[in-house]
């Protein structure tokens, strides 16, 4: 060390004597991405194709550009809220609190559907339609204090809110009621009965808000175990942050300085389209099981691999898209939204099916797991 160089040990002692920190705390993490990498590294039933990831990244990048796909696309969906106020924050929180398990074993015309604005809505959109319909009818379904007031928010009222246009009721209705009651009570006791308090406590950090949701609300604790360690997915906690970011276009209540830390949301639609793009490959027993529409139990190794490998695949797609186009402003949230919308378009065109006469080349059905997590 030359005479002109400061002695690092002396500097550390000086900082300590002055009460200054000599180290910086590590940045907060949700552990979702590291969990996904761990799952991918140890997966034997789901594999990622590096070559097809490169091809898919190019395709997705081109299609997103052609469609001018951006966070603003979120608000263009007919049923999503258009205002940017506290009511919209409450709507998004309610929506993502209940955003799980809409698939049906029945034929398309017989599955749970919500009639609203002159048409029938299914899947995720059936939930959004039910909430909008209830608000139109004067039912304060997105007000947290209402959820745990069982004198006003009775079981009969909730059955009316989620009434179906078919003979099939909304899946897991009883569990949705539990989520509403529990979340309303927790918000009342700890967060002034408003999701805004959660956002304010997060100080514009997506990671902090996600962890706060997972730590405070049992129904957001989307976790499991794989290969001798705990793993986290936190699908609905992450999508709450993502929906805020997209709805408010990264401003105000939707401003998060670390939005790029949010991963893809591990559900049953993104694995489906990643398989269609050949980014994901399934072992023959798993692929046969899915094509035969057989259920997969929650926490089964197959389910964990499907979810974890999908998260890691989207992360690799994001990196490859940025490698192909340096400076490209894209994150896992936007890729997830785009892939989900694309898969739903394919479904609407009838391109999803068991074999469709095309054998293994057909769009594989989504896997079937009954769960409140997605």
- CA-wise closest residue to 130 among 79, 194, 183, 182: 79
3-state secondary structure the chain: CCCCCCCHHHHHHHHHHCCCCCCCCCCCCCCHHHHHHHHHHHCCCEEECHHHHHHHHHHHHHHHHHCCCCCCHHHHCCCCCCCCCHHHHHHHHHHHHCCCCCCCCCCHHHCCCEEECCEEECCHHHHHHHHHHHHHCCCCCCCHHHHCCCCCCCHHHHHHHCCCCCCCCCCCHHHHHHHHHHHHHHHHHHCCCCHHHHHHHHCCCHHHHHHHHHHHCHHHCCEEEECCEEEECCHHHHHHHHHHHHHCCCCHHHCCCCHHHCCCCCCCCHHHHHHHCCCEEECHHHHHHHHCCCECCCCCHHHHHHHHHHHHHHHHHHHHHHHHCCCCCCCHHHHHHHHHHHHHHHHHCCCECCCCCCHHHCECCCCECCCCCC
Query: Residues with catalytic annotation?
Result: 267
CB 314 within 8 A of CB 263: yes
């Amino acid at each position: 060390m030359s005479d002109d160089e400061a002695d690092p040990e002396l500097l550390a002692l000086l900082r300590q004597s002055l009460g200054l920190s000599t180290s910086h705390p590590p940045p907060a993490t949700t552990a979702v991405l590291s969990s996904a990498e761990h799952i991918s590294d140890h997966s034997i039933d789901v594999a990622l194709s590096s070559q097809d990831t490169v091809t898919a990244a190019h395709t997705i990048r081109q299609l997103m550009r052609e469609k001018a796909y951006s966070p603003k696309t979120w608000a263009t969906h007919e049923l999503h809220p258009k205002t940017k106020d506290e009511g919209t924050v409450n709507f998004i929180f309610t929506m993502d609190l209940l955003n799980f398990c809409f698939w049906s074993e029945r034929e398309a015309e017989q599955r749970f559907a919500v009639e609203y604005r002159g048409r029938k809505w299914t899947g995720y959109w059936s939930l959004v339609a039910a909430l909008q319909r209830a608000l139109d009818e004067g039912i304060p379904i997105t007000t947290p204090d209402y959820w745990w007031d069982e004198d006003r928010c009775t079981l009969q009222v909730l059955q009316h809110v989620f009434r179906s246009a078919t003979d099939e009721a909304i899946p897991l209705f009883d569990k949705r009621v539990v989520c509403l009651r529990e979340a309303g009570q927790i918000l009342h006791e700890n967060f002034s009965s408003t999701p805004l308090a959660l956002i304010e406590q997060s100080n514009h950090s997506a990671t902090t808000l996600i962890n706060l949701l997972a730590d405070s609300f049992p129904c957001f604790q989307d976790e499991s175990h794989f290969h001798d360690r705990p793993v986290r997915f936190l699908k609905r906690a992450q999508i709450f942050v993502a929906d805020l970011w997209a709805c408010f276009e990264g401003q105000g209540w939707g401003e998060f300085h670390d939005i790029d830390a949010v991963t893809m949301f591990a559900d049953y639609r993104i694995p489906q389209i990643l398989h269609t793009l050949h980014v994901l490959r399934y072992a023959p027993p798993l692929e046969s099981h899915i094509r035969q529409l057989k259920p997969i139990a929650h926490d089964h190794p197959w389910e964990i691999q499907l979810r974890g490998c999908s998260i890691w695949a989207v992360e690799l797609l994001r990196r490859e898209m940025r490698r192909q186009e340096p400076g490209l402003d894209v994150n896992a949230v936007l890729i997830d939204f785009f892939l989900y919308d694309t898969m739903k378009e394919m479904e609407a065109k009838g391109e999803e099916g068991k074999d469709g006469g095309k054998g293994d080349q057909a769009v594989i059905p989504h896997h079937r797991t009954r769960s409140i997590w997605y």
